[in-house]
Structure 1
Amino acid sequence: MSAVLPSIASAESESLSTLVVKPASKGKSADPHRLPVVLVTGANGLIGRALCREFVARGYEVRAAIRDQDDLEMQGSVVRVAAPDLADPRARWPLDGVDVVVHTAARVHVMNPGPDEIERMMAVNRDGTVRLARACADSKVKRLVFLSTIKVNGERTTPGQAFKAIDSIASPADPYALSKFEAEQGLFEVASQTGLQATVVRPPLVYGPDAKGNLELLERAIRRGVPLPIGALDRNRRSLISLANLVDLVILCASHPNAPGQVFLASDDHDLSTLDLARQIAKACGLVLRSVPVPIGLLKLAAQALGKGQMIRRLSDNLQVDIESTRERLHWTPPQSVEKGMAAAFAPRP
């Protein structure tokens, strides 16, 4: 992945000086030229693994915080550390000598969660994040980068009216989005009280090798050669982000002087219709997409009858993300094109 994600030398050489580098352990003097020590939570997840690999490739000292120590295969000088249960009020985090925490661990989104699941989601995503922020402040960690979700802004956009970091009002529509939004609020409150540098990144749907969810289902259908009834879904626009582009942005947020106190929206900066997305996946798989132009109204009616109404709404709705503010504040441009991102995610299998 390091070949895909070129180091942003000009931005990082300027920004790393803003972090106070502490000695890694007692008895050692601080090296002003040493890159920050980074702890990544959720390091056994899709995004966490990629972050650990790329941080190491760029010369950082990396600590991978995971619950199951046997569930991580990582190359390079990654140090495994035990992560506590985020829902445990007595949780103790291994933060000694850590300069930056990148928090990706979360209770993931599920469809139609019951009361117990909602309670657990809030305990992990909201309360656990706030406790981690306080622990960071107490341990003199300089910065915390929190991976949130574009769902905080809402589920859909009006055609041509993308979500923006500055003037879009938060509108979380489900418990998962609400847990992330309240976590953001708690994080910034801790930051204001303690001086902890807090940064939030809100990505849309992330695609990459081994990504799960609806994209995996779509890929399977395309590989089986199933004719898909999405030929008429060619006018909506949805923002996505490749794993490589998200990792590049998060690593920049870990050190850039303009990152603290900000919420950054993320995307590839190249929106696709649902039909375009399916074509890109098919092309990356080395296949030709088979699609049928079923009228959208009929498609929604059939999906509703099958209990798949919510899925079809997501496929047919718009969800666009404006990253102009992210570009300007961080001097960042997504380094990977959609075509290369799709090729990396859906390359033909041996």
Structure 2
Amino acid sequence: MRVLVTGATGFVGRGLIRSCTDVGCIDVVAALRHPQSYNEPHVEVVVIGDISGTGDFTRALESVDVVVHLAGRAHVTGEALADALAKFRAVNVKGTTALAKQARDAGVTRFILVSSIGVNGAQTINKPFTEDSIPAPHADYAVSKLEAELALRQIADGSTMEWVIVRPPLVYGAQAPGNFGRLLKLVSSGLPLPVASVENSRSMISLENLAHFLRQCITQPAAANQLFLISDGITLSTPEIIAQLALGMGVKPRLLPCPPVLLRWGASLIGRQGMYKQLCESLIIDSSKAYSLLEWVPPLRPELTLQNCGREFLALRS
């Protein structure tokens, strides 16, 4: 089986490609934006340029059976908010649309789009998100991801190309970008963190578990034309997450009590509302569809994975 992976140099892309090459039954083509050295063994490399509505992906799609589309525009720190939605749409919607159409016309049998749980919303209250939950994207990025999902389903409808959509929550690992990367730095610094009073529940997924699930989506016939909300299957509070990371780093977690309302106010003052939501509010995912339909079981438990994440983070910095 020949699989094209876009976003191959990204955090999830590298994890997926290593997972695929480790099992040895999948021939991987890594799609890169620019010519560059790429040292993953047993991987074919193709340069596709920017993912856009005008891109020509003919060479990349040659003899490809499955596309795993990870490339996209995400949040950029310090970026102006003006025209943000248009910028997200240019890549996440128009680029995905162009790639999906060309994949369909090239005879690709399955197109897997990795979307975001943000399509469902920023937090859960009283009940978890499921595949039947009504989408309620909370930010421009999530709006563009929902539009990309709808475009893919329309393009594949009536064709021989199957679609699979995966909405993961926060994906964590030692080299994770974004808010989890910032949390790793804070825990390793030994600075006191004012989250002892936070009593939330977060669904997350480790890079290893997500890569394992995406392999299932590549190979399992039952994944065809399905939407999946996926997670580690166990929820943890922010203090519990920090405690496991600290244990792996060999440091003592320094957690101080602080009313969440003050944390919310402080986060708004410094423009970190997104970080506050991920650290202090609840977001719970019901992943039972993946377990029942694909008979998938997350191979790694989050407690041990978080500890390993802490150890690896320190090792990479040394």
TM-score (norm 1): 0.85
Does 2:111 match 1:169?
A: no
Q: How does 1:230-269 map to 2 (within 5 A)?
A: 230-233=195-198, 235-269=199-233
Query: Which residue in the other structure is 1:226 paired with?
Result: 191
Count of aligned residue pairs for this structure pair: 311
Q: How does 1:316-335 map to 2 (within 5 A)?
A: 316-335=280-299
Work out the CA distance in 1 between the residues paired with 2:136 and 2:304: 32
The structure whose Rg is larger is 1
* RMSD, matched Cα: 1.7
| Shift, 1:118, TM fit | 2.5
Does 2:7 match 1:42?
A: yes
Q: How does 1:99-138 map to 2 (within 5 A)?
A: 99-110=65-76, 114-138=81-105
For 1:40, give the aligned amino acid.
V
Work out the CA distance in 2 between the residues paired with 1:303 and 1:273: 19
Query: Which residue in the other structure is 1:97 paired with?
Result: 63
| Shift, 1:343, TM fit | 3.0
For 1:104, give the aligned amino acid.
L
| Shift, 1:339, TM fit | 2.3
Q: How does 1:262-277 map to 2 (within 5 A)?
A: 262-277=226-241
Moved more, 335-344 or 323-332: 335-344
For 2:301, give the aligned amino acid.
S
Query: Which residue in the other structure is 1:215 paired with?
Result: 180
Query: In the superposition, relative to structure 1, how do residues 343 and 90 fare at CA in structure 2: closer, same or farther (>3 Å)?
Result: same
Query: In the superposition, relative to structure 1, how do residues 313 and 38 fare at CA in structure 2: closer, same or farther (>3 Å)?
Result: closer
For 1:312, give the aligned amino acid.
Y
TM-score (norm 2): 0.93
Provide, for residues 214-273 of structure 1, a one-character-per-residue CA deviation record: whole Å limited to 9, x for no partner: 11211112111101111101x211100000000000010012111111110110011111
Does 2:26 match 1:70?
A: no
Query: Which residue in the other structure is 1:148 paired with?
Result: 115
| Shift, 1:71, TM fit | 5.0
Identity %, equivalent residues: 37
| Shift, 1:331, TM fit | 0.4
Contact 2:196 / 2:255 at 8 angstroms: preserved in 1? Answer: yes
For 1:292, give the aligned amino acid.
L
| Shift, 1:110, TM fit | 4.0
Query: Which residue in the other structure is 2:20 paired with?
Result: 55
Moved more, 97-106 or 86-95: 86-95
Work out the CA distance in 1 between the residues paired with 2:235 and 2:257: 21
Work out the CA distance in 1 between the residues paired with 2:186 and 2:266: 18
Query: In the superposition, relative to structure 1, how do residues 196 and 150 fare at CA in structure 2: closer, same or farther (>3 Å)?
Result: same
Work out the CA distance in 2 between the residues paired with 1:184 and 1:88: 15
Moved more, 251-260 or 303-312: 303-312
Work out the CA distance in 2 between the residues paired with 1:67 and 1:86: 8
1:284 to 223, 226, 248: 248
Query: In the superposition, relative to structure 1, how do residues 226 and 327 fare at CA in structure 2: closer, same or farther (>3 Å)?
Result: same
Does 2:270 match 1:303?
A: no
| Shift, 1:96, TM fit | 1.1
| Shift, 1:67, TM fit | 1.1
Work out the CA distance in 2 between the residues paired with 1:300 and 1:115: 24
Query: Which residue in the other structure is 2:301 paired with?
Result: 337
| Shift, 1:274, TM fit | 1.1
Instruction: Give the unaligned 5+ runs of structure 1.
Output: 1-35
SS of 2:163's partner is: strand
| Shift, 1:145, TM fit | 0.8
Query: In the superposition, relative to structure 1, how do residues 328 and 113 fare at CA in structure 2: closer, same or farther (>3 Å)?
Result: farther
| Shift, 1:310, TM fit | 4.4
Query: In the superposition, relative to structure 1, how do residues 100 and 310 fare at CA in structure 2: closer, same or farther (>3 Å)?
Result: closer
For 2:280, give the aligned amino acid.
S
| Shift, 1:84, TM fit | 3.1
